[in-house]
A and B are shown apart, each in its own frame.
Chain A
């Protein structure tokens, strides 16, 4: 579980960074999927970083010594 938490932190941070550097823009596929907006998806980085924080908290719970 600890390795899964670490993997999730890394994945979400990377996704967050990538979504800032290369924001998802509207294209044929996104329109076909029903995403209406022609705007850049500016909220995706917030979502990824929020999920990274939650994964980090989960990692904290996994790492702490069990109560005796």
Chain B
């Protein structure tokens, strides 16, 4: 992998990790489309991906730094008191803990085997189309719910533990390459009556511990024998992925104030269909 390819992958990771279009799917499809000789099981490539995830997680932490300080203080306060007060930050913090449990368990147990089974272009293209279907279906169900019940969106402090767990389970679908973590969790958020902005913010907060812990657990991969990634490449990749992720989350939080998931659904549908056509007919 050349330096230019590495930086392209860093930008791709920073953008696609937070946009609901599946970063893992794009990391499989783009190098295959461009005929890059990237071995996704190679120790150096995996180590580079760890660095990119670390950059993304740090960007998310930086963007939501004030929120995280309040959430962590509220969590510690509730543990010290030994009871829940029902305050917004405390409730949000425990919802994030509850929502992280499913993806933590499923990720540790199944991540490598699922990726081994499905991380090739045709399955990824199919899952991208499924991802589009999930987003379209989520938007349609939400519109139908609101048209029928004339109900308004609810604040995060009214989300129940079971609903929080449900969003966490939805996030676990992102173990399948081509299914977007943020797409699945935003759709789940919409279905429990959060508005788009709250669902997106909740999705990004929920993604932060998962991405951070997953990348920290993989840090030893950086020091394995045979890893050829240089310090300049690693630092540049981390910074580029971080800056792009920060810009992406800043854009998306504003975007979801007034817009929905359908444009990303159309993108995933078209990209998945095109990739399926190209790879199944062996054009590329």
Q: Are A and B genuine complex partners?
A: yes
List which A50-68 residues lie within 8 A (CB) of chain B: 50-51, 54, 57, 60-61, 63-67
State how many angstroms separate the Cβ of A11 from the closest Cβ of chain B.
14
Q: At the interface, is chain B mostly helix, strand, loop or mixed? A: helix
Number of A-B residue pairs, CB cutoff 8 Å, is 39
Given A36-B113, A37-B113, are A57 and B104 neighbors across the interface (CB < 8 Å)? no
List which B96-117 residues lie within 8 A (CB) of chain A: 97, 101, 104-105, 108-109, 112-113, 116-117
User: Out of B83, B108, B217, which one reaches A66, CB within 8 Å?
Assistant: B83
User: Out of B83, B101, B108, B116, which one reaches A54, CB within 8 Å?
Assistant: B101
Interface assignment of B84: CB less than 8 Å from any CB of chain A: yes
Given A36-B112, A36-B117, are A60 and B217 neighbors across the interface (CB < 8 Å)? no
- Chain A residues within 8 Å of chain B by Cβ, number: 20
Interface assignment of B282: CB less than 8 Å from any CB of chain A: no
Question: Inside 8 A of B97's CB, which chain A residues have their CB?
Answer: 54
- Chain B residues within 8 Å of chain A by Cβ, number: 16
Question: Inside 8 A of A57's CB, which chain B residues have their CB?
Answer: 79
A20 to B101, CA, bound (A): 21
Interface assignment of B225: CB less than 8 Å from any CB of chain A: no
Interface assignment of B81: CB less than 8 Å from any CB of chain A: yes
Interface assignment of B82: CB less than 8 Å from any CB of chain A: yes
Given A43-B217, A46-B217, A61-B84, are A37 and B112 neighbors across the interface (CB < 8 Å)? yes
Question: Inside 8 A of A44's CB, which chain B residues have their CB?
Answer: 108
Given A37-B112, A51-B101, A61-B82, output 15 extra A-B contacts at Cβ < 8 Å: A34-B117, A35-B113, A36-B113, A36-B117, A46-B217, A47-B104, A47-B108, A50-B104, A54-B97, A54-B101, A60-B79, A61-B83, A61-B84, A64-B82, A67-B83
The 6 closest A-B pairs by CB, nearest first: A64-B82, A36-B116, A47-B108, A36-B113, A35-B113, A34-B113
B-side interface residues toward A, CB under 8 Å?
79, 81-84, 97, 101, 104-105, 108-109, 112-113, 116-117, 217
